[in-house]
Structure 1
Amino acid sequence: MRRHLPAFPVLGALFLLSGCQHIATVPVGKTPGSTGSAAITTPAADDNLHAVTWMQTSAEYRANSIQTYRAALAQLDAALADPQWDALVPEDRVVPAIGLEPAVVVDIDETVLDNSPYQVRLIRSGLAYDDATWAQWVAEQSARPVPGSVEFAQAADARGITVIYLSNRTLDQRAASLANLRALGFPVADESVYLGKGMPVEGCQQSSGSEKHCRRQWVSRKYRVLMQFGDQLGDFVQPRPNTAENRAALMNRHGSWFGERWWMLANPSYGDWQPALFDNDWSLPPAVQRAAKQRALDARD
């Protein structure tokens, strides 16, 4: 997962934009026309409220995650038995996969760890994502497992398959992240299975530290990758540049891999699909970003 701002629904109010994941909310205020202590207060609108509520409370979210991991597990033995099987695209494969040890590659946030309590804190406080509050959340080691993820990871480990955690959590968050994973029952072979943002990879250059292309190349030197799991397209293959057209083209090229080698977890809260609609320009005012999303909608009218 790459940490970016959430989607903005159609709202009349303008919000303050900060950080890279969440949109700030306006303070709770008085109902228009009311005065004095009898004024009625209402919660401030927040663009991420609907998505986070769905992720925390709906049976549908749990069902979606559980069925994804169960379907992947049903195909894991066939992938392990096939020496030609590989879940890396050719541009990420540096060393031939045949004969390498098997592994599955998983993103962490919203793929195996559920960070929605952190998002709830932002919604309730009216604050936006920032690196300091995110680092504090990671240090708490309070994230819960995404439904079905622990069972799948344990089943892979029981088959001798290494679980690689390829995340855009930073390298200095390795200890806290692995401790959180271990406490929940995720298999962690050693610290080398944590591939965090900022990890140098010899002989590989990329335009952004949050891209995962180079780290997938590192994996390819050591492992035959049976499956990849994520909540963003960039967890599987890198759109360059990140445009709606390029993302659609990658789906046309690799779409058959989903449900077989690649497994996508639902995350309606944030993602690179959003900036793809407004030229990846986070400096644009929220109203301009929302207008771009409105233009992308199709009402068939």
Structure 2
Amino acid sequence: MKNMNRAMVVLACSVSFLCGCSSQVAKKGDQSVTELYQRNVLALSWMQNAAEYRALCYQAYNGAYDHIKSSLKQKTDKPRAIILDLDETVIDNIAAEATINAVAKDGKEFNDNWLAWESMASANAMPGAAEFLNKVDKLGVQIFYVSNRSCMNVDFTNKNLKSLKFPMKNTIKCKDNTSNKKARFDKILEKYNVVAFLGDNATDFPISIYGVSGLDRNKIVDKNSSQFGIKYFVLPNPVYGEWYSQIDPDLLKQSKKKMVELVDKSVKTDPALKEAISN
């Protein structure tokens, strides 16, 4: 899920400190930047290299497919459909994230480079994504891609998805005037029985979490716990997302030094073990 609205420009700028700071940035002597990079570089590597990451993708797609297939046994007055995000849900943009973050100097430069990368239409599919989508298509279930990619690049995104052999019977529901997907969800729900949602961010699901920050996000997910793995299927993405707000609602507006402090503070330790080690 890629948000590029004006409210997320700060994220585009600041995520370079959290994801892909280059050695050139580190040479400037900003130890805070170096420390933030070190905290996230393993997450980037995990998504690109770990067998466990691939296993989680297969697990989500297999679980979703079984649920979708089972839904065919139930009567419905509307045609069945699924709704899913694109980036880090069925297409992989982590290499692009790391590359752009390594060179972007500010939010505008990140955004410009990101849009240029979208126009290259060269993203790869996530493990098992094409197979999953084509099996769903063969069941006669409609597939709707609801993405916060820019509408100005929707033709390039279409080209990319076609090159990956993804079913393309419906137009991509790209970001319009808001990153909130609710209106786009509602429009699909008017005509279709949506039997599954897939995404990598909590806002990819119809649980009224858009704009919510802090621990209230956990409360909303807990309230909808019975639907995850049943109707809602989450793909792993520890690199970026609106979960940053759970560290601090204004995390990405802080100085780099303060960001380091807040990230460190967010990690819970075991007081009893700490005392035992000290003794």
Instruction: Supply the distance in 1 between the matched residues of 2:153 and 2:42 (Cα, whole angstroms).
Output: 29
Structure 1 residues 61-72: aligned runs within 5 Å: 61-72=53-64
- Structure 1 pair 156–283 and aligned structure 2 pair: CA distance change class (3 A): same
Change (3 A) 1:215 1:20: farther
Deviation of 1:281 (Å): 5.1
Please say if residues 2 and 272 of structure 1, whose CA atoms lie closer than 8 Å, have aligned partners that are also in contact. Answer: no
Q: Secondary structure at the match of 1:276?
A: helix
Give 1:240 deviation, angstroms: 5.2
Distance 2:13 2:191 in 1: 35
Query: What TM-score do the two structures reach when normalised by structure 2?
Result: 0.82
Give matches, 1:5-20, under 5 Å: 19=13
Contact 1:52-1:119 within 8 A present in 2 as well? no
Question: In the alignment, which of 98, 105, 113 is matched to residue 120 of structure 1?
Answer: 98
Offset at 1:128?
5.8
Residue 288 of structure 1: which of 254, 258, 267 is its match? 258
Which of 81, 99, 102 is the matching residue for 2:80?
102
Name the CA distance, whole Å, in 2 between partners of 1:176 and 1:274.
29
Shift of the 280–225 alpha-carbon distance from structure 1 to 2, 3 Å rule, reads: farther
Offset at 1:59?
1.2
Total equivalences in the alignment: 254
1:243-262 superposed matches below 5 A: 243-262=213-232
Q: Which residue in 2 is equivalent to 1:22?
A: 16
User: Partners of 2:173 and 2:249 in 1: how far apart?
Assistant: 28
Sort the Cα spacing of 1:18 and 1:78 in 2 relative to 1 into closer, same or farther, 3 A: closer
Letter of the structure 2 residue corresponding to residue 211 of structure 1: N
TM-score by length of 1: 0.76
Deviations 1:79-99, CA, capped at 9 Å, x for gaps: 23223xxxxxxxxxxxxxx41
Q: What is the aligned partner in structure 2 of residue 232 from structure 1?
A: 201
| 1:223 to 2:192 alignment | yes
Q: Does 1:111 align with 2:89?
A: yes
More helix, by proportion: 2
Q: Is this contact kept in 2: 1:242–1:280, CA < 8 A?
A: no
Is the CA contact 2:93–2:123 (under 8 Å) kept in the aligned structure 1?
yes
More deviation, 250-259/235-244: 235-244
Aligned-residue CA RMSD (Å): 2.5
Contact kept, 8 Å, 1:2 with 1:210, in 2: the verdict is no
Residue in 2 that maps onto 1:41: none
Residue of structure 2 equivalent to 1:10 = none
> Hey, what's the Cα distance between the residues in 2 that align with 1:141 and 1:216?
25
Instruction: Report the equivalent of 1:196.
Output: 174
1:40-88 Cα deviation digits (max 9, x unpaired): xxxx6635422221111111111111121112212221123223xxxxx
**In 2, Cα distance between equivalents of 1:68 and 1:17:** 27
The aligned counterpart of 1:13 is none
Structure-to-structure mapping, 1:2-151, within 5 angstroms: 2-3=2-3, 19=13, 21-23=15-17, 25=21, 27=24, 46=37, 48-83=40-75, 98-125=76-103, 130-151=110-131
Contact persistence 2:61–2:129 (CA under 8 A): yes
Aligned residues with identical type, % of pairs: 26
Look up the match of 2:7. Answer: none
Which range is displaced more, 166-175 or 21-30?
21-30
Instruction: Tell me by how many angstroms 1:287 deviates.
Output: 2.2
Structure 1 residue ranges without an equivalent (≥5): 5-15, 33-43, 84-97, 200-208
Report how far residue 30 of structure 1 moved. Answer: 6.8
The answer to whether the 8 A contact 2:162-2:168 is kept is: yes
